[in-house]
């Protein structure tokens, strides 16, 4: 009886392991792309700054300047959009910008509109992570589905790992590399479990919540999706005969309503209409929610807060998802932690497929394509960065062109270490050219501490890649001998 139970348990674990492998193999490549770009996208505000180092930088934008910015915007456009945002400077990004959802301008400290925001590479990186460069909503749903599959992999991985406690701290290094990969795959997965589970759940939430909204709206709200969203996120005030805008009074009243709130952006809803009103989003100390939203009449009279910080617990949880997923809280150390954790997940995706490839015990086109994809993606990201700076070419197109070219290299070279080595050297070359051209283009601006930090990080990455290329070259020599 006991033997039979043990046998059934073994069969179930074996089946679960097969499912883990099958799903992992099916989605490994895309998962790698999503995880790598996600790890880098944590630093998107810094990349935006790097792409346009000549925008005005300051730590404070006065309410009078914000009013000026809105006035300039209204003279600039023929028909204003419904919601117009002014994103305020922070310690992290000491520059402000105005956005109406279609156009964006950096703001000078006096509130005048500066240059149009141009961040082709950062946009490409974000869109690759969020929607894999597919049409917007469809892409978002596809990527969110990968969140579900990641949750599947996390849960099935834990359930199949029969030696989870026995091997909790084991790491075999060297040898044929197979044990090293298996141990790293398992140790990184197990000890990073809370982070990986959080990324899977919050990642799935972004796109697939629409399915839930669809079902819930038809079940409880007579198909009125707006009513459902208002119930979860809080409703907008109903305004008629709105007075003229007075942003300065709104800020003065915010300081009275909540002295702990740190404003991060202002939005004028229904601007220039009789329904216009002001919302100021502000972060609160020790709170993970993206922001609390304080609502004001156009003349600055305080209406109330939307309840993101003190509303129903569900609203607070849902509004905390963004910062939790993207690591945008705390200081720079949090972002670095997110980068390392994200890269660990990236390594797990790659090592999962490597383990399977090694188990096959033979080297063929699949190995060539896989190594060219793994090394080709950083190359394609670097190449798109270079072309967007050097030639003003579409970063999206150059990324895919470079990635396809890397895959073609696999077909030509037909040697794993040679493919990896060539692509690493290409990445190093491309990044060095980018840095030189960037220095020539922007001159003294590269001395801005934040810009210098990014350039030093890129140089460090180049140095690491040079070291890695030497390792790959040695491996190549060994295989020849």
The strands making up 83-87's β-sheet, listed across from edge to edge, are: 113-116, 104-107, 96-99, 83-87, 262-269, 277-283, 292-297, 302-305
Piece in contact with other proteins (CB under 8 A), picked from 126-134, 197-205, 273-281, 456-464: 197-205
**Which of 6, 25, 64, 466 touches other proteins (CB under 8 A)?**
25
Non-local (6+) Cβ contacts of 270 within 8 A are: 82, 83, 239, 242, 276, 277
- 27 near other proteins, judged by CB under 8 A: no
Non-local (6+) Cβ contacts of 375 within 8 A are: 406, 419, 420, 423, 424, 427
The secondary structure element, H or E, covering residue 449 is: helix 449-480
Q: Which of the residues 284 through 303 are near other proteins (CB under 8 A)?
A: 285-288
Q: Are strands 96-99 and 104-107 parallel, antiparallel or unpaired?
A: antiparallel
Q: How far is the CB of 454 from other proteins (least distance, A)?
A: 23
Non-local (6+) Cβ contacts of 71 within 8 A are: none
**Which of 30, 74, 164, 216 touches other proteins (CB under 8 A)?**
216
- 443 near other proteins, judged by CB under 8 A: no
Q: Which of the residues 405 through 424 are near other proteins (CB under 8 A)?
A: none
Q: How far is the CB of 249 from other proteins (least distance, A)?
A: 32
Site track for other proteins across 357-376, x = CB under 8 A:
-xxxxxx-------------
Kindly report the backbone phi and psi dihedral angles of residue 197, in degrees, each rounded to the nearest multiple of 5, phi listed first.
-65, -40
Q: Which of the residues 95 through 114 are near other proteins (CB under 8 A)?
A: none
**Which of 15, 115, 235, 470 touches other proteins (CB under 8 A)?**
15
Number of residues that bind other proteins (CB under 8 A): 82
User: How far is the C-alpha of 19 from the C-alpha of 126, rounded, in Å?
Assistant: 31
Q: Which of the residues 306 through 335 are near other proteins (CB under 8 A)?
A: 312-315, 317-318, 320-321, 324, 329-330
CB atoms within 10 A of CB 62: 14
Q: Which of the residues 121 through 180 are near other proteins (CB under 8 A)?
A: 145, 147-149, 151-152, 154-156, 159, 165, 168-178
Piece in contact with other proteins (CB under 8 A), picked from 95-103, 291-299, 352-360, 404-412: 352-360
Can you say how many angstroms the Cα of residue 179 is from the centroid of all Cα atoms in its chain? 32
Non-local (6+) Cβ contacts of 403 within 8 A are: 373, 376, 377, 379, 380
Piece in contact with other proteins (CB under 8 A), picked from 196-204, 272-280, 382-390, 404-412: 196-204
Q: What are the structure tokens assigned to 231, written together?
A: 């119930």
Q: How far is the CB of 466 from other proteins (least distance, A)?
A: 20
Q: Which is nearer to other proteins, 112 or 178 (CB)?
A: 178
Q: Which is nearer to other proteins, 212 or 456 (CB)?
A: 212
Contact indicator for 238, 297 with CB cutoff of 8 Å = no
């Amino acid at each position: 009886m006991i033997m039979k139970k043990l046998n059934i348990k073994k069969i179930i674990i074996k089946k679960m392991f097969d499912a883990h492998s099958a799903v992992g193999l099916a989605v490994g490549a895309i998962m790698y792309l999503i995880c790598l770009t996600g790890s880098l996208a944590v630093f998107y505000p810094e990349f935006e700054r790097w792409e346009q180092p000549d925008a005005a930088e300051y730590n404070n934008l006065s309410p009078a300047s914000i009013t000026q910015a809105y006035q300039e915007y209204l003279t600039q456009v023929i028909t204003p959009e419904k919601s117009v945002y002014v994103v305020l400077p922070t310690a992290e990004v000491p520059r402000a910008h105005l956005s109406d959802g279609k156009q964006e301008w950096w703001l000078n400290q006096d509130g005048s509109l500066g240059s149009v925001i141009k961040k082709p590479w950062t946009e490409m990186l974000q869109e690759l992570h969020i929607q894999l460069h597919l049409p917007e909503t469809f892409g978002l749903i596809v990527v969110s589905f990968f969140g579900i599959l990641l949750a599947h992999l996390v849960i099935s991985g834990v359930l199949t790992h029969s030696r989870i406690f026995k091997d909790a701290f084991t790491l075999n290094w060297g040898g044929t590399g197979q044990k090293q990969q298996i141990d790293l795959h398992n140790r990184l997965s197990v000890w990073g479990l809370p982070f990986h589970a959080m990324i899977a759940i919050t990642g799935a939430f972004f796109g697939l919540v629409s399915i839930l909204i669809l079902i819930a709206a038809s079940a409880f709200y007579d198909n009125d999706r707006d009513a459902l969203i208002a119930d979860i996120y809080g409703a907008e005030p109903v305004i008629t005969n709105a007075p003229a805008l007075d942003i300065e009074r709104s800020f003065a009243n915010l300081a009275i309503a909540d002295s702990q709130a740190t404003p991060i952006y202002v939005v004028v809803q229904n601007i220039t209409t009789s329904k216009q009103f002001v919302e100021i989003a502000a972060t609160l100390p020790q709170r993970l929610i993206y922001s609390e939203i304080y609502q004001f009449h156009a003349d600055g009279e305080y209406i109330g807060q939307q309840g993101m910080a003190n509303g129903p617990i569900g609203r607070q949880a849902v509004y905390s998802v963004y910062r939790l997923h993207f690591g945008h809280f705390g200081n720079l150390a949090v972002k670095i932690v997110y980068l390392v954790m994200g890269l660990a997940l990236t390594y797990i995706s790659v090592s999962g497929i490597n383990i399977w490839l090694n188990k096959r015990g033979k080297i063929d086109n699949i190995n060539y394509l896989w190594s060219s994809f793994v090394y080709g993606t950083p190359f394609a990201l670097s190449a798109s960065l270079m072309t967007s700076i050097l030639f003003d070419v579409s970063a999206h197109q150059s990324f895919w062109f470079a990635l396809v070219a890397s895959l073609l290299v696999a077909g030509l070279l037909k040697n794993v270490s040679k493919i990896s080595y060539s692509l690493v050297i290409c990445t190093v070359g491309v990044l060095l050219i980018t840095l030189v051209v960037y220095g020539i283009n922007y001159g003294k601006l590269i001395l801005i501490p934040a810009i210098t930090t990014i350039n030093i990080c890129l140089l460090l990455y180049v140095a690491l890649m040079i070291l890695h290329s030497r390792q790959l070259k040695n491996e190549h020599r060994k295989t020849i001998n």
